[in-house]
Structure 1
Amino acid sequence: MSEKFDLVVLGSGPGGYVAAIRAAQLKMKVAIVERERLGGICLNWGCIPTKALLRTSEIFHYMSHADSYGLKVEKASFELEKVVKRSRGVSGQLNAGVKGLMKKNKITVVEGTGKLTAPGKLSVTQGDQVRELEAPEILVATGARARDLPFAQADGKRIWTYRHAMTPETMPEKLLVIGSGAIGVEFASFYSDMGADVTIVEMLDRILPVEDADISAHMEKTLKKQGMTILTGAGVEELKSDGKTVTAKIKTKQGKVETQQFSHAIIAIGIVPNTNDIGLEELGIETDRGHIKVDGYGRTNVPGIRAIGDVTGPPWLAHKASHEGVVAIEHIAGNNPHPFETWNIPGCTYSRPQVASVGLTEAKAKEAGHKIKIGNFPFIGNGKAIALGEADGFIKTVFDAETGELLGAHMIGAEVTELIQGYAIARQLESTEEDLMHTIFPHPTLSEMMHESVLSAYGKALHF
């Protein structure tokens, strides 16, 4: 006999559990289905534990350069087991927090593997037990998983995905990172700061290829200065492990194939949506290259079945999934929300230095036909950045020359992942360059560079 609900959510990541909470707030009877741990990949194996690791490497970097601040640290070192334990502890604390939120909002948590069996029906299997759930609305939020190289699957010992890279048993001596998106660059940054010799291989012509070209160029220059080897326009054609080392055949930009040995390798070439064996084909739910096709309210082509988050396609970001979830629930409740759009989603990379952006790059703005004005302001011109010992980086703003619309903002440097939301709010409120120029920014702060970058676009920068 089926258990009846107003809404069943399949997957408890930042899209699924946020949607479930909002639905419960709107007095819906909600069940959420999860086969692993509440919080999904982001909380357990992605956003949160990686930031804990990166915080450790940041502090270790400062310890190793204590003399720059007039401090003395004798031979800074670390215990890898404790580093990993702290990261897992942070994840565990937040997992417990999500459990608490489910209980607080009276959401039924169903453990097991869910599969759509008909519109409005979901079967959940846990061992020998099967539970049948029924609801007029089912929300699919199954997320995504790491993509393997077709010729080399991760073994967890020497060839890693992001999951393996978060719980290393030994510290890599010489590390190969395949792929230079946010995940690849973050792990490269962590392991380099912890002492590994890191090589990044990227098929495209620049690292962080979705970012503005000026940001990518600055990041490559900075990472090389930190000691990393960066190979762009290159590809790994073969990857083999003998249990002790990893041998890679790398085709360089010049077309030469070189054989190199590494202690470990991380595969960070993207993700694959978790759409297998959840009943999509049987119900005729449309997909595009594996991702579920949805409209601005998360609706699929089958009435009563919606989808949100990574399973629906890029950008693959937790905050995008959460917002999609809220929009979908508000729409189910008849509250007439604005349909979800991707034009104003900030992106962040938590490496050293950090990278953050929102809106159009300079190239995309030109492609869209805008006449543009560009503003740039370097960290070296900011008193707070100099005082922090973080004078490397810059902020770039892109405006429509005719209307003053803020088309995009791009940052690289210390704490820019915290600064970017200022520009996201400005874009959401349709602020013009004049609004931003007349806004008073506190001194001394890093945020003053945001103001100066706007002024720079119009030839009015004061401090550089």
Structure 2
Amino acid sequence: MAEEQYDLVILGGGTAGYVAGIRASQLGKKVAIVENQLLGGTCLHKGCIPTKTLLKSAEVLHTVKTASLYGIDTEQFSINYNQIMDRKNEIIQQMYTGIEHLMKHNHIDIYNGTGRILGSSIFSPRPGTISVEYEDGTSELLPNDYVLIATGSKPAELPFLKFNHQTIISSTDLLKMEQLPESIVIVGGGVIGMEFASLLNDFGTDVTVIEAGERILPSENKNIANNLKKHFTDRGIKIYENVQLSEGSFTFKDEVVEINEADLKITADKILLAIGRTPNTSDIGLNNTKIVTDAKGFIEVNENQQTAEQHIYAAGDCIGKLQLAHAGSKEGTTAVEAMFEDNTMPVDYNTIPRCIYTYPEIASIGMTLEEAKDADFTKARSFKVPFKAVGKAVIEDATQQDGFCELVVDQDTDTVLGLSMIGPHVTELINEVALLQFMNGSTLELGLTTHAHPSISEVLMEAGLKAAKRSVHA
């Protein structure tokens, strides 16, 4: 048993876990993190960072291909995919080293093993003591006052289509591939599927997307989803919506996959399953607690991230809210402050930005107009500003002249209910809107804030002015 009881033991060293650990350390608490792989979790090693690194290389390649639009003639260029992967690995290692330094700086103890929650026993009158099991068969107990579950998630499979990590692959498999496939079918038109479709297309892979629902990006603004579909189709990406696949849809032979479903007939080297993620909650000892999970295994929490066991909290992908690294960080911080401080601020998911790093980029926050109407905002109205009305946007990207910013406003109160954008660098612009929402700013305040000219962010100023019936260029 550990020599000293911990104030907090965190299961999982991903973004939600290690950020929560740092916050607890800042509050003077003794913290341990149990991680069975590498600190940084999915975001650093299998998700955000490697994917966005590849997407940056794809963006540069796209610029090279379209350089003539800027008056630059490029007759010859080539893709060095080995160097692209080396750069990705170097960035991951650099950031991993940084996290290790943060753990030491904040005096957080790291246990590299598999953590499970034990039930009540003669050592503890309540469940929550963490057993850490190591590869050599030994184990260790970590008594504590509080537990934060931040065990993350993994790529989901279909009941009739399981990963074999060769022809049927996950996003994790794809990020480790040393050679790009000549052709690929992406099953799932959500964020993960769209990002991989974008980068693979730029790298020269023949890409087909199959979506079971009525449209790609079902949780985003419909106009933006249609805009992205047009861009992708123009680039040669084939998108099929409303296609229900079954076990009989697939034939595997000679290291290729054939898909036959109604009038759809496709042959490809690989199938990427991008249908979402499933929580890592099945073998962490939840059966020893009162913790409640939903039908998919996601842990149910209250507004302070607290589970049905009052001293056990949960954050990140394992609770199934916005499965975004920055959302997990916010949830983890909220949980720690709920444990150790009197005044806490519950997570407001309407103020958390959502970004899609395709080409073109997409960013949004809050509600779409349809969602606002469904939420009984009867006076909700949207105001759209095209990027072509903003000089710097036209200068910056000659291939995205149909991008736009759409602001959703409750006209009764001049409250910003949501905003969506598709266009150049919108994943950076959205943070200004996040601050506006956090400060409860109005459309007029957004419009009257002086923005540098020329800058792409002027599109936000124009949107605020348009909602206030004072637009200049839109």
- Normalized against structure 1, the TM-score is what? 0.96
102-111 or 241-250, which moves further after superposition? 241-250
The question of 1:219 aligning with 2:219 is answered no
Paired AA for residue 244 in structure 1: E
The question of 1:15 aligning with 2:16 is answered yes
1:94-243 superposed matches below 5 A: 94-118=95-119, 119-127=127-135, 128-237=137-246, 238-242=249-253
Could you list the runs of 5+ residues in structure 2 that have no partner in the other structure?
Answer: 120-126
Structure 1's 27 and 458: CA in aligned 2 closer, same or farther, altered over 3 A? closer
Contact 1:8-1:137 within 8 A present in 2 as well? yes
Distance 2:429 2:251 in 1: 42
- Normalized against structure 2, the TM-score is what? 0.94
386-395 or 222-231, which moves further after superposition? 386-395
1:350-365 superposed matches below 5 A: 350-365=357-372
Aligned residue for 2:381? 373
Contact 1:296-1:341 within 8 A present in 2 as well? no
Aligned residue for 2:277? 271
Identity of aligned residues (%): 37
Distance 1:69 1:341 in 2: 42
Aligned residue for 2:394? 386
Deviation at 1:235, TM superposition (A): 2.7
Which digits, 9 at most, give the CA deviation of each residue in 1:63-91, with x for residues without a partner?
A: 12222222232322112222122112211
Structure 1's 284 and 107: CA in aligned 2 closer, same or farther, altered over 3 A? same
240-249 or 305-314, which moves further after superposition? 240-249
Deviation at 1:257, TM superposition (A): 4.8
Paired AA for residue 85 in structure 1: D
Contact 1:22-1:329 within 8 A present in 2 as well? yes
Secondary structure of the 2:454 match is coil
Distance 2:139 2:189 in 1: 42
Contact 1:159-1:241 within 8 A present in 2 as well? no
Secondary structure of the 1:288 match is coil
Contact 2:383-2:466 within 8 A present in 1 as well? yes
Contact 1:35-1:111 within 8 A present in 2 as well? yes
The question of 1:342 aligning with 2:349 is answered yes
Secondary structure of the 1:32 match is strand
Aligned residue for 2:409? 399
Contact 1:297-1:339 within 8 A present in 2 as well? yes
Paired AA for residue 264 in structure 1: K
Structure 1's 243 and 124: CA in aligned 2 closer, same or farther, altered over 3 A? farther
Aligned residue for 2:288? 282
327-336 or 13-22, which moves further after superposition? 327-336
Distance 2:397 2:48 in 1: 26
Aligned residue for 2:122? none
Secondary structure of the 1:115 match is strand
Aligned residue for 1:53? 54
Contact 1:373-1:458 within 8 A present in 2 as well? no
Which digits, 9 at most, give the CA deviation of each residue in 1:174-231, with x for residues without a partner?
A: 2111111111000000000111111111111111110011111111111111111111
Contact 2:444-2:468 within 8 A present in 1 as well? no
Structure 1's 143 and 240: CA in aligned 2 closer, same or farther, altered over 3 A? farther
Deviation at 1:132, TM superposition (A): 0.8
Aligned residue for 1:307? 314
Deviation at 1:158, TM superposition (A): 2.1
Structure 1's 240 and 318: CA in aligned 2 closer, same or farther, altered over 3 A? farther
Q: How many residues align?
A: 459
Deviation at 1:458, TM superposition (A): 4.3
Contact 2:349-2:366 within 8 A present in 1 as well? no
451-460 or 287-296, which moves further after superposition? 451-460
Could you list the runs of 5+ residues in structure 1 that have no partner in the other structure?
Answer: 251-255
The question of 1:249 aligning with 2:260 is answered yes
Paired AA for residue 57 in structure 1: A
Contact 1:157-1:243 within 8 A present in 2 as well? no
